Amino acid sequence: MATIKFIFEDKSIAPVTVNDAQVDTSILEVTEEHDIHLNHNCGGVCACSTCHVYVLRGDEHLEEISDKEEDFVDRAINPRLESRLACQCVILDKNAVIEIEIPDQKRIIGHEH
C-alpha cells in the first residue's frame, strides 16, 4: 500500500502519515478515510478548486494533470508549480511514497468532511 505524508501550511497542525493508501484512490479520498481536514465543494468531480494541495514529492506516482484540472488549479488560492486538486490525484503505484502539503484551510470557503 502507498504511503502518503501530509504536512500542513498551518504549522499548528501536526503532520500525518498514512501507510495504507490504496491504488486507484484519490488523495481527497485518503483525507476523508483518515479524518484529515481538506475542504471540497464539488464532491470530487473536478468542478472547483477547494481541494487544492501541493504535491511536494511523489507526483510520478499520481495520475497526470488534465487540462481541465489545470484550469481549476489556476483559480486556486496561491497556485504553484506543484499545485494539484486532491480529487484528481489518483494513486497509481502501491509502493508510492507521496508528500502532500495542505494549504491553510481557514482561507478557503468550503465543505468539511
**Residue 18: domain span:** 2-106
- Residue 45 within a domain: yes
- Residue 100 within a domain: yes
pLDDT band for position 108 (cuts 50, 70, 90): confident
Number of domains in the chain: 1
What's the predicted TM-score (pTM) here? Answer: 0.92
In this predicted structure, the answer to whether residue 109 has a pLDDT above a threshold of 70 is no
- Residue 9 within a domain: yes
| pLDDT for position 72 | 95
Tell me the per-residue pLDDT of 36-89, one tens digit each, with 9 for 90 and over.
999 999 888 999 999 999 999 999 999 999 999 999 999 999 999 999 999 999
Distances in whole angstroms, Cα of residue 10 to Cα of each of 3, 90, 93, 111: 21, 24, 29, 18
**How many Cβ atoms sit within 10 Å of the Cβ of residue 80?**
12
- Residue 113 within a domain: no
